[in-house]
Amino acid sequence: MPKSQKAVALEKRLEKCRNVITLGVRTNFDDYDDEAAELIRKAAKIYYPTVFYADLFDAAGKQTFPSYHTYKCVQDKIKQTALFQLLKIPHPRTRVFYGKHQKKAITQYFKFPFIAKIPRGSAMGRGVFLIKNEEQLQSYCQASSPAYIQEYLPADRDVRVVVIGGQCVHAYWRIAPDGDFRSNVAVGGIIDLSPPPLEAVHLAVRTALACQWDDVGLDIIRYDKTDYVLEANMKYGKEGFRAADIDYIRLMEKLIDDGKI
């Protein structure tokens, strides 16, 4: 396939796709050679442009995949929570506390135990803590500013739903390992391919569409017969695809060929 007929990507996520030419990410746009720069300028859409270039392409009126809106919330739990609250998406009760004065009021809003997270830049279950007492709370508050506090909904599993181009492409259970409240595969969570509840899948798809996120892994927890969106992961792992014998590269090639993304 000629270069001019291929989709144009910057990040390496699609570099093994037959119908994509990956140009790489350059710190300065001038570092692209003339051919690459023209491919970018002429492309109707740029795939995986990075947060930096997504901003620039949006300013220039150029479409990207994932969308500019998707990049706005990458690894930012504070923005995600505010958006969930704005759109009335079911989400565990969550509050952000800034500065020493606000942090002193945490236990006025939440009773032990509760969840505390590093709100920006953390992923794969790291930076997530179950706070059981005042000592643990003080230790967390010293390490994180602002403090991102969320009610604890006891459950030994959640559902990871991957939504690409407005449709669920994969959904599976993640079961927490013994002695841990987190179900992330990176910390020992077990993938269970038993069919998850359709209500959880539908909630994930509705959430992705409402937030204008077109490539996202959403974590859904069921507690007291209600489904809640825990958070969105724009840089999700592929372990669930491999466990289900789903070829992620072939999947993405087909979605591009069919004009779905």
What are the structural domain ranges in the chain? 3-65, 93-151, 157-257
pLDDT values of the chain reduced to their tens digit, one per residue, 261 residues? 555 589 999 999 999 999 999 999 999 999 999 999 999 999 999 999 999 999 999 999 999 999 999 999 998 999 999 999 999 999 999 999 999 999 999 999 999 999 999 998 766 557 899 999 999 999 999 999 999 999 999 999 999 999 999 999 999 999 999 888 888 888 889 999 999 999 999 999 999 999 999 999 999 999 999 999 999 999 999 999 999 999 999 999 999 999 999
Q: How far apart are CA 208 and CA 164, in angstroms?
A: 9
Q: Which residue has the tokens 């899948």?
A: 201
Distances (CA, A) of 63 to 43, 66, 149, 230: 9, 9, 35, 28
Same CATH fold, 157-257 and 93-151? no
For the chain, helix (H) and strand (E) counts, in that order, are 10, 13
Give the per-residue pLDDT at 195: 96
Burial 148-158 (b: 16+ CB within 10 A, else e): bbbbbbebeeb
* Joined tokens for residue 134: 């005042």
Q: Which of 213, 226, 208, 183 is nearest to 93 (CA)?
A: 226
Give the per-residue pLDDT at 125: 55
Superfamily of domain 157-257: ATP-grasp fold, B domain (3.30.470.20)
Give the per-residue pLDDT at 3: 56
Decide yes or no: CATH 3.40.50.2000 for domain 93-151.
Answer: no
188 conformational bin, left if phi > 0, alpha if psi -120 to 50, beta if neither: left
